[in-house]
Amino acid sequence: MSHAGTDRRTVAKSALLGASFLLSGTGAAPAWARAGARGRPRGGQDVTLQLPAPTGPYRTGITTLYLVDRARRDPWDPAVPVREVMVTVFYPARTVRGRPRAPQMTASAARAFAEFVPFAFHQELPKAGVDWAATMTHAHVGAPARAVRCPVVLYSPGGGDARTLGTCTAEELASRGCVVVTIDHPGDASEVEFPGTTAYRDRVVRPTVFTGDPRTDPGIFRTMIEARVADIRFVLDRLALLAAGRAADAAGRPLPEGLGSALDLRRVGVYGHSAGGTAAAQALYEDRRIAAAIDMEGFLDHPPLEPGGAGELFPVARYGVGRPLLLLGTDGFTGRHALEPSWSAVAARSGGCVRRGRLDRAAHAVFTDYAAMAPQLQAAGLMTAAERIGLVGAVGPAAAVRAVRRRVVSFFGRHLPVRGV
């Protein structure tokens, strides 16, 4: 596939659902699936996983938005003439009385997740024995927002991951005074649930289209990051409409009371994991509305065109950036050495605006909700110790979640700043 000007039809044809891959950044494509699933968990009942409660002073509300960019075609499916994006908004609530807690995944999304992710994406996960739809957030559906203008922080998940796997950190930020917008990138994310079907999309839940690791295909990787950066900037455009009191949800659904006026778009941050970290850093470079960003183990260079060659740096690494950027890694990430050239480049060219941090005894997915989930799966006999370490590292769940939350909250607390920190 050519390096520049990737044809969308070619990308779509070469990226059909179904084969194995690892998109979150290791660069290794695992075999399809081990023969057979593990047995039932101890006790014979499907396990319900718990997410740790946020620790900030505010109770949180939650809502979803269906956003449609009619100026862009879908980058993965030429039959879709618009770009559809789904987001979840977490925010400090004025009251949660009478408002139920939201599940981490809806029943339809959880079913799609269970049928695909443990087989083709994260093979460390059990093939059976987990009720993925039963995990609850600590956020309350449609609760009225606090009458305080809050910093706005956007989150882009790892390649192939859905936005739902960033709940732990999003809830923490919201409980400390931020409005947090987690973004799904359809066609890229493992599953994205929309409010309904359309004339050009006959499924409510759209699966990923990838069949391989994008780091092995320069054209697909370029398309993925360009789409994500454009999605982030488009979401900011739509949030500006909400802040101005105008409608943004393409399905016409009402906003929670006071949410639009709670958005302070003079204080915007972006953070992301893996491919989401790449997109967050590049969006910081491209969009002056973004004041600060965190890249959690996202490459800042393209894959090399030839084996053994050097990949082209993204503009953020080639020219540097004049606003705060945190590069946050782990000691257990198998791609950490390949990450180093682009991270060193952006640090050298950014005049002191780049800071680096590392989590020890941790692995790549520690930045996601798997940090809390994997130890529970191991305790239930559904994941081996080696699989848990490979996914999130040996660090304990409380320490892992606390470390990630602390780094993210303190960074945005310095640079936005965030109320309640």
pLDDT tens by residue, 352-379: 999 999 999 999 999 999 999 999 999 9
Cβ contact 116:191 at 8 Å:
yes
Q: From 81, 252, 99, 229, select the one nearest 156 (Cα to Cα).
A: 229
**pLDDT at 25 > cutoff 60:** no
* Strand positions, DSSP E, 96-220: 101-103, 136-141, 150-156, 179-184, 191-193, 205-207
Q: State CA 208 to chain mean position distance.
A: 14
Q: From 95, 92, 99, 96, select the one nearest 149 (Cα to Cα).
A: 92
Q: From 240, 364, 246, 223, select the one nearest 302 (Cα to Cα).
A: 223
DSSP H or E run through 329: strand 325-330
Distance of alpha carbon 258 from alpha carbon 315, whole angstroms? 38
**Per-residue confidence (pLDDT) for residue 18, from 0 to 100:** 31
Average pLDDT, the chain: 89
**pLDDT at 11 > cutoff 50:** no
**Per-residue confidence (pLDDT) for residue 32, from 0 to 100:** 23
Lowest mean pLDDT among 256-270, 296-310, 387-401: 296-310
Residue 4: which pLDDT band, with cuts at 50, 70 and 90? very low
- Signed CA dihedral, 368, 108, 123, 303: sign only: negative
Joined together, the tokens standing for residue 301 give: 């260079």
Amino acid at 54: P
Q: Convert 104-117 to b/e letters by CB count within 10 Å (16 or more is b).
A: bbbeebbebbbebb
Residue 166 vs residues 45, 51, 339: alpha-carbon distances, Å: 26, 11, 22
**pLDDT at 27 > cutoff 50:** no
Distance of alpha carbon 368 from alpha carbon 166, whole angstroms? 5
User: Quick count: other Cβ atoms within 10 Å of Cβ 231?
Assistant: 27
Q: From 267, 272, 271, 262, select the one nearest 415 (Cα to Cα).
A: 267
Cβ contact 74:149 at 8 Å:
no
- Signed CA dihedral, 368, 182, 213, 111: sign only: positive
Residue 43: which pLDDT band, with cuts at 50, 70 and 90? low
**pLDDT at 36 > cutoff 70:** no
**pLDDT at 185 > cutoff 80:** yes
Amino acid at 414: R
Amino acid at 345: A
**pLDDT at 319 > cutoff 90:** yes
Strand partners, 268: 152
Given the structure tokens 């972006």, which residue do they identify? 270
Percentage of the residues of the chain whose pLDDT score is greater than 90: 83
Cβ contact 63:144 at 8 Å:
no
Strand partners, 140: 61, 101
Q: Integer distance in angstroms from the first to the last C-alpha of the chain?
A: 47
**pLDDT at 97 > cutoff 50:** yes
Lowest mean pLDDT among 93-97, 142-146, 183-187, 416-420: 416-420
